[in-house]
Structure 1
Amino acid sequence: MFSVFGRWYQRKFSDPDAAMLLILILITSALLLLWGDMLMPVIVAAVIAYLLDWPVTQLNRLGLGRSPAVALVLICFILIMVFMTVGLVPVVTKQSVSLAQELPTIWQNAQGWLLTLPDKYPEYVQFSHIYEMMEGANQRLVDFGEQALSASIGSITSVAALLIYFILVPLMVFFMLKDKLYFTASISRILPKERRLIAQVGNEMNVQIANYIRGKVIEILIVGAVSCITFAIMDLRYSLLLGVLVGLSVLIPYIGAAVVTIPVAVVAMFQWGISPEFWYLMIAYGIIQALDGNLLVPILFSEAVSLHPLYIIIAVLFFGGLWGFWGVFFAIPLATLVKAVVTAWSSSPEHLNGKSEQA
């Protein structure tokens, strides 16, 4: 057993570059696990700076200086965020409160409908089963309400953290963009000389992560806007709230679309019942999801590394469990990083040298 492991280790890590890549991954993982929450503002600032570097570079090529280009791009970004916050958040919040106030009525109507099932289908449904199910559901709703109340009280203490994001993150983004060459040179001096595989993985991920995040932001905007417009045209209640939820659901591949279908169907059923309007809405919603999965995603992510759906679901569950929202958002780039690292370790130095000589 130990000889097998020894041969595998010799084959994979006898190359100093492979060993350096492993050490870098272990150190980075340890830092994120131990101080990930503390460093999250820095990570968020680095991600935003990474995304905004492209327009800054384009303005720089047009003749605008680095500092004015950074200031212009950052001001435009902040204005867009403020506009979305002022214009979108109040309406979504208002509709969320209205929906929360109507949830008891929706649940009461659902209970009345469930109680009619034993009369319609006495061979399959018993009153005792319905009562047991409703009693368990009511208890879970009470527990959920207590947790939501405690979370809302606890969120008061997170105002300081929110101020950190609103004040320090834009400041860090500005310095990261303005002094990009200085920071990259400093990181280069820290990295070991044996960094062939580190550079290989970095070059691959530089393209993949940028394409993914930009594509995902565009997908959220398109799917959310189309859903809001469709729901508003069909006169669905809480159309903006549900449209925003549908747009954000694309963050979690496969799982998000399935989960967000529940509130859309519940609100439509409460508003119209099982009627033609309900089925028209569900058909329109299904068309939006089909166009997103079969047309929009292939166009936006045509250059992304293809991953099997099972790997994507595992990545969402794993990284989401580790880092919550940000883990879900970066699940596919992180899965792509794992794939790039495995590919780099699987490539022997002789194979890579042969490729470079042919080039």
Structure 2
Amino acid sequence: MTETIKLPFYVKFTCILLILICIGGLSYIGSDVITPVLLAFLFTVLLLPLHSFFSVKLHFPTYLASFITVIIFVLCIAAILVFISYQVTDIANDFDIIKKNAISFFNNTQSFINEKFQISIWEQKKYIQKVTSDTVQNGSETIGTAIGSVSDVLLNSMLVVVFTFLFLLYKTHFILFLAKLFDKDDHAKLKDIITQIKISINNYILGLIFEMFVVSILTGLGLWIIGAKYFILLGLVTGILNMIPYIGIMIAGILTILSSLTGTPEVSMVVSILVVNIIVQLIDNNVLVPLIINSKVEINALVSIIGIIIGGAIAGISGMFLAIPLLAMLKIIFDRIESLEPWGYVMGNHMPKKFTWRIRKVKTEN
């Protein structure tokens, strides 16, 4: 009979920290490979019901069911991109109007700053020329970086599609691998972890997609009410970018303001757009996120923010997107392993009303 070795707390804590450091370092070094794999894994979980429909209900061979599932997924993404590109073409045709209104808006802003803050137009132009000269000097590097980023996105997109197909094709193979990796006594717990991870990730992604559509509709409706042009495209872009934590809505707001210059250079339109974005974000943060997102993954706000920051530092925007589902997976695993339950608890969204220390007194004998 094997005996369990009990280590002191400081040894356990040191081992956990070393493991976290190793995982973080490996994730940072291999982010170019790990990120597409994790994205493909999330999309695989999302596509499992469709794959099961073709393979179980229609009795398609596994490779054919996987191929058709991936093709449908790619066509849905392509349809959205085609619609966006078609709308962007219309905006590009109004470039001269945007340029004219942008200059008028810029002049009005300079006059406002001059009147309110007593900063002369000459001083403002001098500062802008200094910033512009610094930007021009780094222009070639910026263009090269942009071209490299586009090529990386295309390559990663292809890898995600390929990995998704392979995950669907070999999903049974991977499950059997995990079954062989653990003892038979742990198979029930392993099955429960896999099932809960599938349910949690599926619900989270579906909730995220639903949130995207609601934000798109609310933003598009608000822009239509204030008379903004291309309100359908701008609403859809805002909903998509809103899936990127923190910076997504800022980018969407800038694009919306620039697009509004096709109609008028008035400051009132810019203010109206900002009001629409603020109202939609208040609804999103206080109604949609707690109701749709937080109910699917029981991760508290502190852990979520820390995870998003770490994910962004490791893998950029993709890392920020992956942070929440990965944290949800870790919490599911921690909650079902006795020695890791405290870590699962600290990641959770539990709000105890009161806690009282229960200290056992030890009697000393004289």
| TM-score after normalising by structure 2 | 0.69
What is the correspondence of 1:95-106 to structure 2 with a 5 Å cutoff? 97=92, 105=100
Q: Distance in 1 between matches of 2:145 and 2:29?
A: 24
The match for 2:357 is none
Indicate the residue corresponding to 2:256 in structure 1: 264
Q: Deviations over 1:77-104 (max 9, x none)?
A: 2332332233333433x25656877776
Alpha-carbon separation, structure 2, partners of 1:140 and 1:339: 47
Q: Kindly tell me: are residues 282 and 154 of structure 1, through their superposed partners in 2, closer, same or farther at Cα, counting changes over 3 Å? A: closer
Instruction: For residue 189 of structure 1, report the CA deviation from its aligned partner.
Output: 3.0
**Number of residue pairs the alignment of both structures matches:** 331
1:50 corresponds to 2:41: no
Distance 2:91 2:280 in 1: 23
Verify the 8 A CA contact 2:27 2:314 in the aligned structure 1: no
Cα separation, partners in 2 of 1:46 and 1:96, compared to 1, 3 Å: farther
Inter-CA distance 97–143: structure 2 relative to 1 (3 Å threshold): farther
- Residue pair 2:91, 2:259 contacting (<8 A) in 1 also: no
Q: Match of 1:130?
A: 124
The alpha-carbon distance between structure 1 residues 306 and 226, as it changes in their structure 2 partners (threshold 3 A), is: same
Mapping of residues 136-155 of structure 1, within 5 Å: 136-139=130-133, 141-142=135-136, 145-154=139-148
Match of 2:71 in 1: 75
Aligned partner of 2:289: which letter?
A: V
Residue 173 of structure 1 deviates from its aligned partner by 2.8
Which stretches in structure 1 are left out of the alignment for 5+ residues? 1-5, 14-18, 349-359
Give the equivalent residue in structure 2 for 1:353: none
CA contact (8 A) 1:272 1:278 kept: no
Quote the residue 1:84 is aligned against.
80
Whether 2:27 is the aligned partner of 1:32: answer yes
**Does the 8 A contact of 1:114 with 1:130 survive in 2?**
no
Letter in 2 for 1:173: T
Counterpart contact for 1:253–1:313, Cα < 8 Å: no
Counterpart-to-counterpart distance in 2, 1:83 and 1:272: 31
- CA change 1:266–1:310 in 2 (3 A) is farther
- Distance (whole Å) between structure 1 residues aligned to residue 238 and residue 205 of structure 2: 18
1:18-43 deviation line (CA, Å, top 9, x unaligned) = x7x88986765454333331354444
Residues 1:177 and 2:171 are matched in the alignment:
no
Inter-partner Cα distance in structure 1 for 2:269 and 2:212: 26
Q: Distance in 1 between matches of 2:114 and 2:21?
A: 62
Match of 2:229 among 233, 237, 243: 237
Change (3 A) 1:336 1:180: closer
3-state SS of the aligned residue for 1:347? helix
Displacement, 1:51?
1.5
Unaligned runs of 5+ in 2: 1-6, 343-366
Residue 213 of structure 1, CA deviation: 2.0
Answer whether contact 1:320 1:326 (CA < 8 A) is retained.
yes
Select 2:177's aligned residue among 163, 186, 189.
186
Indicate yes or no: 2:323 matched with 1:331. Answer: yes
Instruction: Assess if the C-alpha contact under 8 Å between 1:211 and 1:304 holds in 2.
Output: yes
Equivalences for 1:177-256 in 2 at 5 Å? 177-190=168-181, 199=190, 205-228=197-220, 230-231=222-223, 234-256=226-248
Partner of 2:341: 347
> Is the contact between residue 311 and residue 319 of structure 2 (CA under 8 Å) also seen in structure 1?
yes
Match of 2:361 in 1: none
* CA RMSD between the two structures: 4.3
Aligned-residue offset at 1:291: 3.2
Q: Cα offset for 1:320?
A: 1.3
Q: 1:71 to 1:146 in 2, by over 3 A?
A: closer
**Higher helix proportion (structure 1 or 2):** 1
Q: Is the 8 A contact 2:311 2:320 kept in 1?
A: yes
Instruction: Tell me: CA distance 1:185–1:312, structure 2 relative to 1, closer, same or farther (3 Å).
Output: same
Assess, with a 3 A threshold, how the Cα gap between structure 1 residues 314 and 25 changes in structure 2: closer, same or farther.
closer
Q: Deviations over 1:61-116 (max 9, x none)?
A: 64645625444433322332332233333433x25656877776565334423432
Question: Offset of 1:8 from its aligned partner?
Answer: 2.6
- Tell me, in whole angstroms, the C-alpha distance in 2 between the residues paired with 1:229 and 1:95: 20
TM-score with structure 1 setting the length: 0.70
Q: For 1:72 and 1:151, locate their aligned partners in 2 and report how far apart those are by CA, in whole Å.
A: 36
Aligned residue among 99, 115, 122 for 1:120: 115
Task: Give 1:357's aligned residue.
Answer: none
SS at match of 1:126: coil
Is the CA contact 1:99–1:238 (under 8 Å) kept in the aligned structure 2?
A: no
Moved more, 278-287 or 182-191: 278-287
Give how far 1:183 is off: 1.8
SS at match of 1:237: coil
The percentage of aligned residue pairs carrying the same residue is: 21
Check conservation: 2:207, 2:293, Cα contact below 8 A. yes
Q: Tell me if the contact between 2:220 and 2:231 (Cα under 8 Å) persists in the aligned partners.
A: yes
Q: How does 1:270-349 map to 2 (within 5 A)?
A: 271-274=263-266, 280-301=272-293, 303-337=295-329, 345-347=339-341
Residues of 1 paired with 2:182 and 2:31: CA distance?
21
Cα distance change of structure 1 residues 336 and 140 upon mapping to structure 2, 3 Å threshold: farther
